[in-house]
Amino acid sequence: MENQNMSDIIEAYLKKVLNQQEKVEIRRSEIAELFDCVPSQINYVINTRFTIQQGYLVESKRGGGGYIRIIKVQLLDDSDVLDTMIEIIGKSISERDAQSVVQRLYENDIISKREAKLMLVAVDKTMYTGERIIDNQIRANMLKSMIANLKYEEPR
């Protein structure tokens, strides 16, 4: 654990809890106190590590009795998952979010390890011009096209 930063430790803790149950309700301040960090660190972890692309739905209620609920999303059939991923990608996607989408497809046995590697190469930042807005749009189009193609693939 020495090489892990605080975000990694908080993520690991929350995922451990989620492995025991499909949803968890937390209070930001309580988790921040548990890890001796600022509440914004908890927000950062939840916003970057528990996204729909990674298979989590996050709900929150602000105020005195507020909470953050993290729910592990259950996948339906492959076609529904692929449609959902295409919808999530939208018109633009960052390299990190694209990698999360590919990882999610691989973890759920929708794509093979080889397919995942090829998709990761296609979304890698070194394949693009360096103008972030345009790169993210091209990356989204490429990824959506690959995922849409998976819907019509012949079974092996």
* Residues 89 and 123 reside in one and the same domain: yes
* Residue tagged 């927000």 (tokens): 43
Pick the closest to residue 119 from 87, 96, 142, 90 (CA basis).
142
Final residue belonging to a domain, choices 24, 48, 72: 72
Regarding whether 143 and 84 lie in a shared domain, the answer is yes
CATH number of the domain within which 125 lies: 1.10.1200
Domain membership of residue 97 as a residue range: 78-150
72-93 pLDDT, tens digit each: 876 556 777 788 888 889 999 9
| Distance in angstroms (rounded) separating the CA atoms of residues 111 and 136 | 22
Alpha-carbon distance of 60 to 51, in angstroms, equals 13
Q: Do 84 and 142 belong together in one domain?
A: yes
Q: What is the mean pLDDT of residues 59-72?
A: 78
Residue 104 forms part of a structural domain: yes
Same domain, 46 and 82: no
38 and 94 in a single domain? The answer is no
Q: Clarify whether residues 86 and 144 are in a common domain.
A: yes
Is the predicted pLDDT of residue 62 greater than 70, yes or no? yes
Domain count, the chain: 2
Boundary-marking domain end, from 21, 46, 72: 72
* CATH number, domain with residue 13: 3.30.56.130
- Distance, in Å, from the CA atom of 154 to the CA atom of 25, rounded to the nearest integer, reads 41
What confidence tier does 98 reach under pLDDT thresholds 50, 70, 90?
A: very high
Q: What percent of the chain has pLDDT over 70?
A: 89
Which of 55, 72, 89 is where one domain is finished?
Answer: 72
CA distance 51 to 58: 7
Verify that 104 and 139 share a domain, yes or no.
Answer: yes
Q: Are residue 60 and residue 121 in the same domain, yes or no?
A: no
Q: Give residue 98's region: left, alpha or beta (phi > 0; psi -120 to 50).
A: alpha
Task: Please indicate, yes or no, whether residues 140 and 89 belong to a single structural domain of this protein.
Answer: yes
